[in-house]
Amino acid sequence: MSDSPNVRPMVLRGGHVVDPANSVDGVRDVLLVDGRVASVAPTVDGVPEGAIEVDAAGMVVTPGLIDPHVHLREPGQEHKETIATGARAAAAGGFTAVIAMPNTDPPIDTPASVAYVLAAGRKAGAARVHTTGAISIGLKGERLAEIGEMVEAGAVGITDDGHPIMDSGLMRLAMEYSLNFDIPVADHPEDLGISAGGVMNEGLVSSRLGLRGKPNASEDIHVVRDLLVAEFTGAHIHLQHISTAFGVEMIRRAKDRGIRVTAEASPHHLLLTDAAVDGYRTEAKMNPPLRSESDRAAVEQGMIDGTLDVIATDHAPHHYDEKEQAFDDAPNGIVGLETSLGLVHTHFVRTGKISLTTMVERMSLAPARAFRLEGGTLDVGGPADVTVFDPGAEWTVDAAAFLSKASNTPFGGERLVGAPRLTIVGGRIVFDAR
Amino acid sequence: MPSPSEVLDEAAVRRALARMAREIVERAGGADDVMLMGIRRRGDHLAALLKREIDQAENADVPLGVLDITLYRDDLGTVGTIPEVGETQIPSQGIEGRIVVLVDDVLYTGRTIRAALGELLDWGRPGRILLCVLVERDGRELPIQADVVGASIQAGPRERIEVRVPALDDRLGVDRIVVDGGSE
Amino acid sequence: MTSTVSSLGKDLVGLEGLTAEQIRSILDTAEPFKEISERRIKKVPVLRGKTIVNLFFEPSTRTRVSFEFAEKRLSADTVNISSSGSSVVKGETLVDTARNLEAMNIDMVVMRHGSSGSARFLAERIPSNVINAGDGRHEHPTQALLDLLTIRDHRGEIAGQKVCIVGDVLHSRVARSNIYGLVKLGAEVAVCGPRTLLPRGIEEMGVRVFDRVEAAIEWSDVLNILRLQLERMEGGYVPSLREYNHIWGVSSQRLAAVDRELLILHPGPMNRGVEIDSDVADGPHSVILQQVTNGVAVRMAVLYLLAGGTPDSAEAAKGGKEA
């Protein structure tokens, strides 16, 4: 949605404002005027006539959360999700912006399809919908798509997510070309030769269940490859949904070497292991797969220390009967938009593993910076994208109540603490659970 | 709680068996064609005792077999536990044309005998089948009557009549057990 | 009247979930069933009136025939559905197949399916008893049970026997079920084969690994030789069948190197001259045909034991409530 100067001013009174970019972590008022942040102060003055007053006492007020990795399924798979339902689910999860992946049907590999996604996102009037474009035509991993024109049409990055680029030469070309447009190259690191046919992590559980496994090495090989190519091209590589201990370690070292890398941790890789697959639970089937406890712990540590800068859900909606199949036949992925904030707040903030400031860095500031988006801060003059959540609200994950079309989550029934109350995009309330 | 009382002691049972052996031979017109088939799990022991009586009296060696009727019962899935399946042993002579004497401990509903007849006929075509039981009591659910009976005992629906044999129970006898409130 | 919960539960999905006691009870129950197949009339009425569907999504003549004999010898009414010509190939999902079976009030379903976990998937969705006749590379419990019965017939006890499974363990449901059953009954278990065909983490399942078949033979009391699917060579797991036979093939020459008499099992169908040489397959220590005979008895025992369940107990097993 476009920032509208006609929107009514709004003042959020007395909330606990957490804005890492401005080193704010305390009770403040936030004034939003004309779709922009007008003031953040202990008590704001000069509130315009007719402004909406919001009592935010007891609430946490943060720059709008940004999920840089979602699958909105439109065009082509609207039975799973649409841009509109995905944008509403995002708003309900406290997100003011999402970045869509291009593996739709047809893929987002032309400027026209980028424009289509952005227009549909604006029409939804919920969270902002950004999109990436494909690296290669048709996600085939053969020839570069019209990256420059897609960027001109509004794409914020390029990726063949879900379709690992097996040709390292093509990855080199993509990274070099990205330099012209100052966009990140996002990659789903996976060597299909090693993971071939795998449906879960390779280990004792896969051996017991008789399911084909993907070893860690299938991911690590491409993590290292991408880092090497990023180093010599000087491009910005954004590594998606890191799931292995070795991958975390390699990214840590790459950052030490000055390689331009950002990386994602997903809530499920932070919280679950391949034990969740036992019983052939298709809601625990995802790619990259849930891995061992030592991998999970390393991903957690990487997220805590910032090696993994960004928390991204990899929101992957599927129709219920697509998951209601034999494990081999069920598709990968889980929905994440409406559980991410609650999961991260419950398991990492409330346990003291990370501060609220770090949470906002991982879920707002870092995603904005990685993809050069406005937002991620409450800078005066910046977009009035704000998330307000109740840090004490207890709730139970009820997949049937999701605004997403899909309900494929392994977290159903889990008790969480911390729930979105108000999602504000461009100064306008797009989700209200007060 | 069950309260057993002995209705036939060992001596009485032995007298009954001796008489039953004689009756079998009489009805069969000698021991030559007789084959004893005991029904597991007590009829087979009684059949062994009868064989000893007949063998001694007639200077014979009557063939002895065992029928396990578990797989011919009509109550699978309705009884409390799954009956253990035992093995049926048919004497090597086979049952074709023989006078097969089915031996069981108690004739009650008749369903065991129905199952035994079914199984026996699957094995071949005997010349005749005689039914021989140590005890018969009221409660028949099928039109089946014994040819040779050791004793007739009156017993109500809440009473069980149980035969004890040395191999399984360390004694020979017949008990009456009153079962309080409830069916089996 | 009390209702019965089968001593095995509602279904037989695999041996991993059974106790040693339950496995022994199946083997013990199989003993008297062997004798039925020797009768003049090879049929007992115990499952009269029960309807059993043999649902085979993968072709398998021998397992299906073995189940069918077992069912018919217990007087059950059987229907065979195999993937060719059924709606399965027309894209009907497993869950729809399950619902259709449920609507037809089937008492039991024997299923062979190419996906690991499919038997459990079906079992969780229908009240009928489900018997896994092989699901993907997961389990094939009745095959392992007949292997166990055959070993017990010859060695008296399973406990203490050293059993080596030779060949493509990675893709083998027979291997997994055997490992679970053998370990539970106290056997020592090993596997031997090309590392490309052994699953990772196999040692954690209580199994030792031999790289060379000579060493496996030296160690073993029993060899269970798996079939090498021709697709494995095409898939590049082994360079050639010739090399496989040369390095892992069980030959009488290799067996002669030890003075003990090994028991030779093979789940069939055999590739003579690949994983097993003909003189071994037809030799004095081969019990491969007895395995086939025992297969019918074991399947009769499983059908019999599961049939002890009532719809109530099936509901309980399905929904987790008390029977």
Residue A416 has pLDDT above 80, yes or no: yes
- Out of A295, A314, A385, A390, pick the active-site residue: A314
Listed by start position, the domains of chain A span 10-61+382-432, 64-370
Q: What is the pLDDT of residue A107?
A: 97
Residue B42 covered by a domain: yes
Q: What is the pLDDT of residue B85?
A: 78
Residue B64 covered by a domain: yes
Half-sphere exposure of A127 (CA within 13 A, CB side): 35
Which chain B residue is nearest to residue C8, measuring alpha carbons? Answer: B82
Average pLDDT over residues A44-48: 90
Q: What is the pLDDT of residue A1?
A: 46
Residues from chain B that touch C35, judged by Cβ atoms under 8 A, are 87-88
Q: Please name the member of C93, C120, C200 whose beta carbon is closest to the beta carbon of A202.
A: C200
Range in A26-40, A78-92, C87-101 the model is least confident about: C87-101
Query: Could you tell me which residues come within 8 angstroms of residue A78 by beta carbon, excluding any fewer than 6 positions away?
Result: none
Topology given in CATH for the domain delimited by A64-370: TIM Barrel (3.20.20)
Run of H or E residues at C54: strand C51-56
Residue A71 has pLDDT above 50, yes or no: yes
Average pLDDT over residues C234-252: 92
The whole-angstrom distance between residue A51's C-alpha and the CA centroid of its chain comes to 32
Q: What is the pLDDT of residue C315?
A: 35
Please give the residue range of the domain that contains residue B41: 5-75+85-178
Rounded Cα–Cα distance for residues B131 and A370 (Å): 93
| Nearest partner of A135 among A105, A112, A115, A155, judged by Cα | A155
Range in A81-90, A397-406, C289-298, C309-318 the model is least confident about: C309-318
Q: Quick one: pLDDT band at residue B26, thresholds 50, 70, 90?
A: very high
Residues from chain C that touch B71, judged by Cβ atoms under 8 A, are 36, 44-46, 74, 304
Average pLDDT over residues B127-153: 96
Residues from chain C that touch B86, judged by Cβ atoms under 8 A, are 32
The answer to whether C36 contacts B124, with C-beta atoms less than 8 Å apart, is no
Q: What is the pLDDT of residue A4?
A: 58
Residues from chain C that touch B85, judged by Cβ atoms under 8 A, are 29, 32-33, 301, 304
A321 to chain C, minimum CA–CA distance in Å?
A: 9
Rounded Cα–Cα distance for residues A235 and A248 (Å): 19
Sign of the dihedral defined by the CA atoms of residues B134, B136, B137, B143, in that order = positive
CATH label of the domain that carries residue B154: 3.40.50.2020
Q: What is the pLDDT of residue C319?
A: 36
The answer to whether C40 contacts B124, with C-beta atoms less than 8 Å apart, is yes
DSSP C211: S
Q: What is the pLDDT of residue C76?
A: 96
Number of separate domains in chain B? 1
Q: Quick one: pLDDT band at residue B79, thresholds 50, 70, 90?
A: low
Average pLDDT over residues A287-292: 98
Average pLDDT over residues C140-162: 97
Range in A218-227, A328-337, B87-96 the model is least confident about: B87-96
Q: Quick one: pLDDT band at residue A346, thresholds 50, 70, 90?
A: very high
Residues 36-95 of B with CB under 8 A from C: 68, 70-73, 76-82, 84-88
Residue A421 has pLDDT above 80, yes or no: yes
The answer to whether C116 contacts A204, with C-beta atoms less than 8 Å apart, is no
Residue type, A312: A
C114 to chain B, minimum CA–CA distance in Å?
A: 32
Residues from chain C that touch A289, judged by Cβ atoms under 8 A, are none
Residue B131 covered by a domain: yes
Instruction: Report the first-to-last Cα separation within chain A, whole angstroms.
Output: 23
Range in A3-7, A189-193, C156-160 the model is least confident about: A3-7
Q: What is the pLDDT of residue C59?
A: 85
Q: What is the pLDDT of residue C87?
A: 52
Average pLDDT over residues A112-137: 98
Residue C68 has pLDDT above 80, yes or no: yes
Chains that touch C (3 or more CB pairs under 8 A): A, B
Residues from chain C that touch B111, judged by Cβ atoms under 8 A, are none
Q: Quick one: pLDDT band at residue C4, thresholds 50, 70, 90?
A: very low
Touching pair B, C by Cβ (3+ pairs < 8 Å): yes
Q: Dump pLDDT digits (tens) for A190-215.
A: 999 999 889 999 999 999 999 999 99
Residue C313 has pLDDT above 90, yes or no: no
Architecture of domain A10-61+382-432: Roll (2.30)
Q: Which of C94, C121, C124, C170 to mutate to test the interface with A (most CBs of A within 10 A)?
A: C121
Q: C313 vs C58, which has greater pLDDT? A: C58
B93 to chain C, minimum CA–CA distance in Å?
A: 14
Which chain A residue is nearest to residue C204, measuring alpha carbons? Answer: A204
The answer to whether C4 contacts B81, with C-beta atoms less than 8 Å apart, is yes
The answer to whether residues B96 and C71 touch, using CB atoms and an 8 Å cutoff, is no
- The contact set of A with C (CB < 8 A) is 202-204, 206-213, 215, 279-280, 321, 324-329
To the query of whether residue A105 is one of the catalytic residues in this protein, the response is no
State chain A's mean pLDDT as an integer.
96
| Nearest partner of A101 among A150, A162, A13, A30, judged by Cα | A162
Q: C34 vs A129, which has greater pLDDT? A: A129
Q: What is the pLDDT of residue C102?
A: 85
C103 to chain B, minimum CA–CA distance in Å?
A: 21
DSSP A294: H
Residues from chain C that touch A215, judged by Cβ atoms under 8 A, are 200
Q: What is the pLDDT of residue A45?
A: 87
Residues from chain A that touch C199, judged by Cβ atoms under 8 A, are 206-207, 213
Q: Considering chain B, what percentage of its residues have pLDDT values greater than 70?
A: 92
Residue B141 covered by a domain: yes
Q: Quick one: pLDDT band at residue B181, thresholds 50, 70, 90?
A: low
Q: How many residues does chain A have?
A: 434
The answer to whether residues B103 and B133 touch, using CB atoms and an 8 Å cutoff, is yes
Q: Considering chain C, what percentage of its residues have pLDDT values greater than 70?
A: 91
Touching pair C, A by Cβ (3+ pairs < 8 Å): yes
Q: Which of C27, C42, C43, C46 to mutate to test the interface with B (most CBs of B within 10 A)?
A: C46
Average pLDDT over residues C194-210: 92
Q: What is the pLDDT of residue C201?
A: 82
Residue B169 covered by a domain: yes
Which chain C residue is nearest to residue A278, measuring alpha carbons? Answer: C117
Residue B180 has pLDDT above 80, yes or no: no
> H helices within chain C, ranges in order?
20-36, 61-73, 94-103, 118-123, 141-155, 173-184, 213-219, 230-234, 241-248, 252-256, 278-281, 288-307, 311-319
The answer to whether C116 contacts A321, with C-beta atoms less than 8 Å apart, is no
Show the tokens assigned to B103. 């031996």
For residue A170, count other CB atoms closer than 10 A to its CB: 18
DSSP A64: P
Average pLDDT over residues A317-341: 95
State chain B's mean pLDDT as an integer.
90
Show the tokens assigned to B156. 């109500």
Residue C311 has pLDDT above 70, yes or no: no
Average pLDDT over residues C8-29: 94
C152 to chain B, minimum CA–CA distance in Å?
A: 18
Q: Starting at the edge strand that comes first in sequence, how are the strands of the sheet with B3-8 ordered? A: B3-8, B173-178, B159-164
Strands of A34-150 (E only): list them.
36-41, 52-55, 60-63, 65-70, 95-100, 128-131
Touching pair A, B by Cβ (3+ pairs < 8 Å): no
